[in-house]
């Protein structure tokens, strides 16, 4: 896997919240759309809230909404916020650090892969998903 499951959940949750930025979405709404395990979803919503990407309103008629404009939240922001260890190491072989004086053949190739992924994540914002109507997309397809 490239992203861990929890980060994938976060992508979907954030996309869903972007589908109507102004509305307050409660956990049941999100569950109905995404079918992420309910109690785990509850937990992850408070995690997302603590990251600052999402704002929560407590109490009756409470719920969640994006903390910033869709165009100001990138997928990269989400990966970072979720502490996904996607790029924990630079080394293709998983070495913490390489003591070699000159890089092996994989180093630059792998740097290319990293760069491509980072570039996609950094240039894709939730605004793009809104355009694509990810709301409907996500609703139809679970498991």
Partner DNA sequence: TATAAATAATACCTAAAGGTATCATATATG
Partner DNA sequence: CATATATGATACCTTTAGGTATTATTTATA
**CB of 25 closer than 8 Å to CB of 40:** no
Q: Which residues contact 62 (CB under 8 A, 6 or more apart)?
A: 24, 26, 56
Window contacting a second copy (CB under 8 A); options: 20-28, 48-56, 65-73, 110-118: 110-118
61 binds, among a second copy, ligand SF4, DNA, none (CB under 5 to 8 A by kind): DNA
Residues 12-51 contacting a second copy, CB under 8 A: 12
Position among 62, 93, 111, 122 found at the interface with a second copy (CB under 8 A) = 93
Position among 28, 104, 111, 122 found at the interface with a second copy (CB under 8 A) = 104
Our finding on whether 111 is near a second copy (CB under 8 A) is no
107 binds, among a second copy, DNA, ligand SF4, none (CB under 5 to 8 A by kind): ligand SF4
CA angle 116/21/132 to nearest 5° reads 45
Shortest Cβ distance from residue 61 to a second copy (Å)?
29
Number of residues that bind a second copy (CB under 8 A): 43
Window contacting ligand SF4 (CB under 6 A); options: 3-11, 26-34, 105-113, 115-123: 105-113
């Amino acid at each position: 896997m490239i992203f861990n499951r929890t980060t994938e959940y976060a992508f979907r949750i954030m996309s869903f919240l972007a589908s109507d930025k102004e509305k307050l979405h409660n956990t049941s709404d999100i569950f109905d759309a995404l079918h992420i395990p309910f109690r785990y979803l509850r937990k992850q919503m408070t995690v997302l809230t603590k990251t600052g990407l999402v704002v929560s309103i407590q109490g009756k008629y409470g719920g969640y909404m994006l903390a910033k404009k869709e165009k100001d939240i990138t997928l990269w922001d989400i990966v970072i916020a979720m502490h996904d260890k996607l790029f924990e190491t630079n080394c293709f072989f998983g070495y913490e650090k390489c003591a070699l004086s000159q890089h092996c053949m994989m180093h630059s190739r792998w740097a290319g892969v990293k760069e491509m992924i980072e570039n996609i994540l950094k240039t894709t914002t939730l605004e793009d998903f809104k355009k694509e109507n990810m709301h409907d997309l996500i609703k139809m397809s679970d498991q």
